[in-house]
Amino acid sequence: MAAPPATDTHPSRWRQLGVIAVAELLGMSLWFAASAVSAQYQTQWSLTSSEAAWLTTIVQLGFVGGTALSALLNLADVIPTRCLFAVSALVAAAANAMMLTAAALPAALVWRFCTGFCLAGVYPPAMKMVATWFQARRGLAVGTVVGALTVGKALPFLVKAIPGATIVNVTLSASAGALVAAVLVYVGYREGPYPFPPRKFSWGLVGDVVRERRWRLAMGGYLGHMWELYAAWTWLPVFIAASVVAHDGNASGARAASVIGFLALAVGGIGCVWGGIAADRHGRAWLVNLAMGISGSCALLIGLAFGRSLWLLTPIALVWGFFVIADSAQFSVMVTESVPPHAVGTALTLQTSAGFLLTAGVIQLVPMLAGWWGWAWAFAVLAAGPGAGMLVVRKLRRL
């Protein structure tokens, strides 16, 4: 395999990175559009905490279904990524808007599943798209895209914090963003100077990916990372709101809790960009071990701040939000570097499919632990993922 160039030189590379990043930010705002207003749905439909959690979990399962089908059919390596992204974002926007027609939880879950299913054509293809423009700075480029989608996933919480915001406002603003994302990519994106060769459909491509040991090790680290990530993202805003009530004895700080919840997720966008720069400079294994070590420590420590002043809780939440996602893009870059070029799209899709399947179970686990042990200890179990991931990445580093 030829060594990557010392630097990327194409004059359009930064403009194309901007197009992809903005499209990811807008398109992925669909992910937590229902989660941000789960408390309103809980009141409207008389849901338990576990039932409300399914508004997030079903998106994960839909995404798993979409990525599994995409990997099996090699869609990300067969269909032009520009078209796959645009069509997927359009259909996802429509499915999300249909949430407003749901009269009860079962119908809502159908539309949330469809939304997650379609987002499988928005997230993995974007990483492949940006990789066609960058080789020497691929860590920074993919980190920027993942950072953008991190901020995008946090956007519904920001919209919710606006005075007078309703379920309709949050839902339609996310769908509108996804529509803009579809148009932006279809009109503004072009493949870069480092294209991945097209490949005809092959049933054996998934097997070729799985047999690659470097891919399996990168996958192991990624699963440790995913054990923690989406459970933290889903429940950290709820944890902060519950902590405010426990400290003040009332819900008067609900708006402040929403803003802090948004910031705790959105700061991860900065973390992703920093992670990309650090990984390109010090190595991907170094970066992911550092990020997982700090984020796992925050999972253990944040419970000690529950029910205490926001001046104590907020810094821990922001540090956790920064580092919990700072390494995510680097696992994707590891995957692009561990398989033959013609299998990159399938490898990324397979990776995300397995990772998000794991998150679905952990998202349901956290509220159960909160019910048994209280919120102060519910996040401690998440530290197990980064701990195991660090052990696997050490093996990969020796290769």
Give tens-digit pLDDT for 197-216.
Answer: 665 555 566 677 777 788 78
Whether the per-residue pLDDT at 5 is higher than 60: the answer is no
Q: 13-192+205-398: which CATH topology?
A: Growth Hormone; Chain: A; (1.20.1250)
Give the Cα-Cα-Cα angle 162, 167, 170 (nearest 5 degrees).
Answer: 55
CB 296 within 8 A of CB 387: yes
CB 185 within 8 A of CB 85: yes
- Check residue 1 and give its pLDDT: 38
- Check residue 19 and give its pLDDT: 94
Nearest to 99 by CA among 175, 23, 187: 175
CA atoms of 292 and 389, how far apart (whole Å) = 8
CB 351 within 8 A of CB 68: no
- Residue of 195 and 228 predicted with greater confidence: 228
Helix H segments across the chain?
A: 13-27, 38-45, 49-72, 75-78, 81-97, 105-119, 123-131, 138-161, 167-188, 205-210, 213-248, 254-282, 284-301, 310-323, 328-338, 344-373, 375-378, 384-398
**In the chain, what are the domain boundaries?**
13-192+205-398
CB 35 within 8 A of CB 156: yes
CB 303 within 8 A of CB 246: no
Cα 271 to chain centroid, rounded: 13
Least confident of 10-24, 141-155, 250-264: 250-264
Q: Is 189 left (phi over 0), alpha (psi -120 to 50) or beta?
A: beta
Joined together, the tokens standing for residue 330 give 């680097």
Percent of the chain whose predicted confidence (pLDDT) is above 70 = 92
pLDDT band at 347, cuts 50/70/90? confident
Least confident of 22-26, 83-87, 106-110, 122-126: 122-126
CB atoms within 10 A of CB 198: 10
CB 184 within 8 A of CB 23: yes
